[in-house]
Structure 1
């Protein structure tokens, strides 16, 4: 009976290394996809206020969260509060669909006018 050859593990290691390295080189697929561009402060403000106004207007169980739990700045919360009050009036007069449209439109307009409304209260301090 022959002893097993020591060359096989070395040869297998060489083949495995070569196979792995071929995945690290240039590929014909082109460059990797770009990371998504983060939302601007205005886009983020609009999305947050529109979303939470909708939750409020449809009576979602999440509507009762406070401004911090909703991820709103103080300034965004002030906008949200005004927008929801106006949308509730619209909802009484013309229904939920009209109220949601008003809330989206006002959120976009007011967030644009406020540059994203990112200002928080004067009591806020950055982490140390």
Structure 2
């Protein structure tokens, strides 16, 4: 992971840490159970939310019509389905930014990324293709 933009390296490191830590506990601790009323942690959902929130913010902050990242979705670390989420979240955020202010658009990004990624990974990882 020695190449690429610094934010991408930081995201990759965070995603790796989430994936490495989420399913494991310390030896002898026994199974981990979520608090009452909480769903089991979903590392793919959390990684999706992290990636979508990051890239939507970067692209939105670059302004309308500018290619801020000059990367395709795979270079951003997204699957095809995650790219669909990114595009939908960006469309909503741009509409919100025009109606409200940049802070409202960023709050919408965080909220919608979390909701859409939760929907996508509710029953585990998608199985309809490697890039879906």
Q: TM-score range by the shorter chain?
A: 0.5 to 0.7
Partner residue of 1:50?
53
Give the TM-score taking structure 1 as reference length: 0.60
Partner residue of 1:73?
79
Q: Does 1:113 align with 2:119?
A: yes
Where structure 1 has 5 or more consecutive residues not aligned to the other structure, the ranges are: 1-35
Residues 120 and 126 in structure 2, CA contact (< 8 A), matched pair in contact too: no
Aligned residues: 89
Residues 46-55 or 58-67, more deviating:
58-67
- 1:23-62 → structure 2 map (5 Å cutoff): 37-38=21-22, 40-59=43-62, 62=68
Q: Does the residue aligned with 1:68 lie in a helix, a strand or coil?
A: coil
After superposing on structure 2, the runs of 4+ consecutive aligned residues of structure 1 that deviate more than 6 Å are none
Structure showing greater radius of gyration is: 1
Give the TM-score taking structure 2 as reference length: 0.58
What is the distance in 2 between the residues matched to 1:79 and 1:72? 10
Q: More relative contact order in 1 or in 2 (CA 8 Å, sep 6+)?
A: 1
